[in-house]
């Protein structure tokens, strides 16, 4: 995809837009959602521009889920939630993204309850998650 057509996530991956990165490898990039449903809400994206999850080619598709398995325990421990809910919604940004959302009940997974956090709080959460990734 030409640079002018990159999604906001492509621009984050390339470093054009800053983010609260918690993890990166050859195929995936993970960062805090700037409008989290709950503190510690992480987005995992493949490092290719693909809109629909069912169009993501291997090995990127598998890599997203491998990254999720690696990050979920780190997120849960960092924010002290009972579970990590996962969502593939496919809206807002035309770049496949997998949500990891700290949750203690189903009501915690309400995208109408997003709340912006202060930059210092986001950085604190980012550092706690990143330090726990093995």
> What are residue 83's DSSP bridge partners?
103
Residue spans per domain, the chain: 3-132
* Reported pTM: 0.94
- Alpha-carbon distance 50 to 57, whole Å? 9
- Looking up tokens 């995992």 gives 44
Q: Is the pLDDT of residue 70 over 90?
A: yes
pLDDT at 77: 97
Q: What average pLDDT score do residues 77-105 get?
A: 96
Q: Rounded to an integer, what distance in angstroms lies between the CA atom of residue 110 and that of residue 73? A: 21
Average pLDDT of the segment spanning 60-70 = 98
Assigned architecture for domain 3-132: 2-Layer Sandwich (3.30)
What is the Cα–Cα distance from 7 to 57, expressed in whole angstroms? 18
The predicted-structure confidence for 39-58, as pLDDT tens digits, reads as follows 999 999 999 999 999 999 99
Half-sphere exposure in the Cβ direction for 7 (13 Å, CA): 17
CA torsion 68→78→94→60, rounded to 10°? -20
User: Tokens in use for 75?
Assistant: 């997120």
Angle at 8 between CA 3 and CA 12, to 5 degrees: 85
User: What is the pLDDT averaged over residues 60-84?
Assistant: 98
């Amino acid at each position: 995809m030409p640079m002018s057509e990159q999604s906001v996530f492509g621009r984050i991956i390339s470093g054009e837009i800053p983010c609260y990165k918690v993890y990166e490898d050859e195929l995936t990039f993970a960062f805090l959602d700037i409008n989290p449903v709950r503190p510690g809400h992480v987005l995992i994206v493949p490092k290719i521009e693909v809109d629909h999850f069912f169009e993501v080619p291997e090995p990127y598709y598998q890599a997203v889920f491998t990254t999720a398995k690696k990050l979920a325990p780190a997120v849960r421990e960092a924010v002290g939630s009972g579970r990590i809910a996962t969502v593939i919604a496919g809206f807002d940004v035309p770049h496949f993204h997998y949500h990891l959302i700290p949750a203690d009940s189903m009501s915690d997974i309400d995208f109408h309850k997003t709340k912006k956090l202060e930059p210092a709080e986001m950085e604190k959460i980012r550092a706690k998650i990143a330090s726990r990734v093995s």
